[in-house]
């Protein structure tokens, strides 16, 4: 006997969606969450974070997002919502349980935690998202910069950086939003290899997620067809485009060098900077699978639409473009979780790792 029929690693939106999909198929499911409660990384995001999708399009399976369906929920509302989702699940949720390694022997996975405990199951779902692995690209002169370097994962709000000269690196939603927020209290430059690309938040009077849904584009299985994910566009009501047009923050091409507090730009001009804020994204956070042989040379999972191509019974939920545009979002993880759970459970029953069931 194993401890569970299925173990989910990660208690954020992806893990809760995976646990829901497994438990509704009648599996004894355990969920291991490193934090103090099953809300994932949301408490660690910056204070002003607001969802880019309305509440109507931001729910997990089994529980609608409360309140006005057309509003854009803030970070703390999402945290409260995830607490309610977790409370309604028929699974064992073990918090304070960070998985250090995973081993597999004769089709049974063992998740070993940093506390010395372990749990076993023939099915393992990795749903630990991205927040734990911030990406720091090789920026010119970063190792000789004398100021403070923060990743957006470290940023909470503008108060601690008020009055500084700040460079925000990046052109995605978080970089542009944080740069615009900081520009109210500091001198801010938004530096990027390519200028930000904007997408209207409400084309033709309806939120863009309405159009993505009614056209079917939001769930179209385009992920497996993409060699390189497309450049992220900044959803904008007009605020961010106006801010950059007025040089507050000032957009510039990426600097060519850093030395102490001096910054050199492509046109030869130099300025000073106190702090760099890196809005340079994340990588899949799967360090516990390193020794399993389930990752490629860049520590990215080897999978097909969330089902491992190296290990039977191993699945993933919450990867960007895992199957579709919405795969790593609140609105999309439920669809992917249901699909992956269906496939790994059917395969496990076919190889008699689980009893035949509904």
pLDDT digits (tens, 9 = 90+) for 86-143: 999 999 999 999 999 999 999 999 999 999 999 999 999 999 999 999 999 999 999 9
**Greatest pairwise CA separation for the chain in angstroms:** 69
Helix (H/G/I), strand (E/B), else coil: 101: strand
* Strand (E) or helix (H) holding 209: helix 208-214
DSSP 65: P
Higher pLDDT, 296 or 227: 296
Q: What is the pLDDT of residue 227?
A: 80
The predicted model gives 266-278 an average pLDDT of 97
SS (H, E, C) 18-54: HHHHHHCCCCCEEEECCCCCCCCCHHHCCCCCECCCC
Q: What is the pLDDT of residue 78?
A: 98
Q: What is the pLDDT of residue 355?
A: 75
Query: Rounded distance, CA 190 to CA 178, Å?
Result: 10
The predicted model gives 154-169 an average pLDDT of 97
| Whether the Cβ atoms of residue 192 and residue 302 lie closer than 8 Å to each other | no
Residue 307 confidence (pLDDT) above 80: yes
Query: Rounded distance, CA 121 to CA 244, Å?
Result: 52
Q: What is the pLDDT of residue 131?
A: 95
Query: Average pLDDT, whole number, for the chain?
Result: 95
pLDDT band at 228; cut points 50, 70, 90: confident
Q: What is the pLDDT of residue 336?
A: 98
Backbone angles phi, psi at 299, to 5 degrees: 65, 30
Q: What is the pLDDT of residue 130?
A: 95
Helices 13-23 and 333-350, axial angle in degrees (round to 10):
40
Residue 358 confidence (pLDDT) above 60: no
| Whether the Cβ atoms of residue 208 and residue 236 lie closer than 8 Å to each other | no
Residue 50 confidence (pLDDT) above 70: yes
Query: Rounded distance, CA 15 to CA 10, Å?
Result: 5
Q: What would the two tokens of residue 256 be?
A: 């060519």
Q: What is the pLDDT of residue 272?
A: 97
pLDDT band at 357; cut points 50, 70, 90: low
Handedness of CA 314, 318, 321, 327 (dihedral sign): positive
Residue 30 confidence (pLDDT) above 70: yes
| Whether the Cβ atoms of residue 61 and residue 336 lie closer than 8 Å to each other | no
Query: Rounded distance, CA 110 to CA 217, Å?
Result: 38
Residues listed for the chain: 358
| Whether the Cβ atoms of residue 334 and residue 60 lie closer than 8 Å to each other | yes
**Structure pTM?**
0.94
Query: Rounded distance, CA 337 to CA 21, Å?
Result: 6
| Whether the Cβ atoms of residue 345 and residue 354 lie closer than 8 Å to each other | yes
pLDDT band at 351; cut points 50, 70, 90: confident
Residues 6+ apart with CB under 8 A from 101: 112, 288, 290, 291
The predicted model gives 195-207 an average pLDDT of 95
């Amino acid at each position: 006997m194993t401890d569970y029929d299925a173990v989910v690693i990660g208690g954020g939106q992806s893990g809760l969606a995976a646990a829901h999909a497994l438990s509704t198929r009648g599996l004894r499911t355990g969920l291991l969450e490193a934090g103090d409660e099953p809300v994932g990384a949301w408490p660690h995001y910056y204070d002003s974070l607001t969802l880019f999708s309305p509440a109507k399009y931001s729910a997990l399976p089994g529980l609608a997002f409360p309140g006005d369906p057309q509003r854009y929920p803030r970070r703390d509302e999402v945290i409260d919502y995830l607490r309610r989702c977790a409370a309604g699940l028929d699974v064992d949720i073990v918090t304070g349980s960070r998985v250090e390694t995973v081993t597999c022997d004769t089709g049974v996975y063992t998740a070993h935690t940093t506390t010395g405990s372990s749990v076993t199951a023939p099915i393992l779902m990795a749903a630990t998202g991205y927040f734990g692995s911030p990406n720091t690209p090789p920026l010119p002169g970063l190792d000789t910069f004398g100021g403070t370097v923060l990743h957006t994962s470290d940023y909470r709000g503008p108060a601690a950086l008020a009055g500084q000269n700040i460079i925000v690196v990046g052109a995605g939603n978080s970089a542009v939003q944080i740069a615009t927020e900081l520009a109210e209290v500091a001198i801010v430059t938004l530096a990027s290899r390519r200028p930000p690309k904007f997408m209207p938040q409400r084309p033709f009077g309806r939120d863009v997620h309405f159009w993505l849904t009614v056209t079917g584009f939001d769930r179209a299985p385009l992920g497996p067809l993409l060699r390189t994910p497309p450049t992220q566009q900044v959803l904008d009501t007009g605020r961010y485009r106006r801010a950059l047009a007025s040089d507050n923050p000032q957009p510039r091409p990426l600097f060519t060098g850093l030395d102490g507090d001096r910054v050199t730009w492509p046109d030869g001009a130099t300025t000073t900077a106190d702090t760099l804020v890196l809005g340079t994204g994340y990588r899949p956070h799967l360090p516990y699978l390193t020794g399993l042989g389930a990752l490629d040379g860049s520590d990215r999972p080897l999978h097909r639409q969330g089902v491992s191509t190296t290990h039977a019974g191993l699945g993933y939920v919450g990867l960007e473009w895992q199957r579709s545009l919405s795969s790593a979002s609140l609105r999309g993880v439920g669809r992917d979780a249901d699909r992956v759970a269906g496939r790994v459970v059917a395969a496990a029953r076919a190889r008699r790792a689980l009893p035949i069931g509904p």
